[in-house]
Amino acid sequence: MTRVIIVRHGQSTYNTEKRIQGRTDVSRLTEKGCNDARKVGRAVSNIVFNAIYCSPLQRAKKTAEIIHSELAEQSAVPQTNDQLLEIDLPLWAEMLSADVKQKFADDYRVWQEHPDKLGMLINDAEGTREHFPVLAVYAQARQFWQEILARHPKETILIVGHNGINRALISTALGISPGRYHSIQQSNCGVTVLNFAGGLDEPVQLESMNQTQHMGETLPTLRPGHQGIRLLLVRHGETEWNRQGKFQGQIDVPLNDNGRQQAAKAGEFLQDVAIDFAVSSTMLRPKETAEIILKQHPSVKLELLDGLREISHGLWEGKFEAEIEQEFPGELERWRTEPAVVQMPEGENLQQVWERSVAAWQSIVQAALENQPQTGLVVAHDATNKTLLCYLLGLSPDNFWNFRQGNGAVSVIDYPLGLNGLPVLQAMNITTHLSGGILDKTAAGAL
């Protein structure tokens, strides 16, 4: 496995001025940006990096240098790579965002709603041509992955880039379309972890995305102009069957002591977040997880939704992998490699999980929007959460294994424009409240 840790540069002068930076190199790190870069360095200081790559633009290069200064001596020295340059927005660069919205109103609307379709006519050495910023940064990201992954098999690398290129890197790794460019976000000094089995055409797992807890932020801040809702998607705490690696599915296994402790830590982590409503799967393990979290929010009533329950593994339930392999030869391997085509014997397939869990999710969003703006807690299961993440990012059930969901982990989904706009995954699989570090150390376990 090749582990890649992606960091966005620290706060810059243009960030504070709300200017569009693009590829201009005028903007510098603020004092806060430098301090946050140090905090990233300390958060990853126990990891030895075989290579560190950064954008040549000074705000990213300086961030990489500060992070490196906090690392163990055996970590590699940062090297610049032009494929990590920020998205190129030549007609808007250096302008205030407010001025762009006003002077390029139609183009800005396209940028917000269909970012892949935004074109800019530019004149350069090649003459007059139409430049599509998002399509270009996606192509740039793919090229970076093809070069870097081949160069660093089974190594650990650090990348320090920008909001736009980092989103393109994550999206091309997972197969998220350019039209969903705004569906994931990257905070200044936010940390993302990707695990690659090999090249871009081999399995890849998003272990976590946009962690900001090392900077003292519980959750990424709401974007300016946010008028929708925020949902905190949590996986239940550990059960004894999780620990043993036994398939539980819809068998109603309760939390074990460690699972209750994980739920309590999630509750402490979210204690200062204003939670307006809470929904859980009807099963014991998420219901108890939600109840423990809500001890910090005693006025919030818990609603139960059957559509959020775990996948039914049918005849696999209550069995270990070795027993399943013996009774259903080759099926576990198919489940690991082609999850969308597996029909669980006397159970469900992922399409059935998709239909009921998405319907439940949409009902939650709809109800919340009628009382907006609100923040809601949603506690469910591994397969349910992974299915919902695929749906939220415009992916199919084939992408099921692209996402990790640790026991007691928190993901953050915003609907900044209500149901009229696409959802935004602000952060995924936050487990710092459980492990104390940026890597997910919760046991993998069975579903």
310 is catalytic: yes
182 is catalytic: no
Q: Which residues are annotated as a binding site?
A: 235-242, 285
Reduced 3-state DSSP string for the chain: CEEEEEEECCCEHHHHHCECCCCCCCCCECHHHHHHHHHHHHHCCCCCCCEEEECCCHHHHHHHHHHHHCCCCCCCCEEECHHHCCCCCCCCCCCEHHHHHHHCHHHHHHHHHCHHHCCEEEEECCEEEEECHHHHHHHHHHHHHHHHHHHCCCCEEEEEECHHHHHHHHHHHHCCCHHHHHHECCCCCCEEEEEECCCCCCCEEEEEEEECHHHCCCCCCCCCCCCCEEEEEEECCCEHHHHHCECCCCCCCCECHHHHHHHHHHHHHCCCCCCCEEEEECCHHHHHHHHHHHHHCCCCCEEEEHHHCCCCCHHHCCCEHHHHHHHCCCHHHHHHHCHHHCCCCCCCCHHHHHHHHHHHHHHHHHHHHCCCCCEEEEEECHHHHHHHHHHHCCCCHHHHHHECCCCCCEEEEEECCHHHCCCEEEEEEECHHHHCCCCCCCCCCCC
Q: Which residues are annotated as a binding site for substrate?
A: 235-242, 285
Choose the catalytic residue: 68, 236, 381, 433: 236
Choose the catalytic residue: 86, 288, 310, 317: 310
Which residues belong to the active site?
236, 310
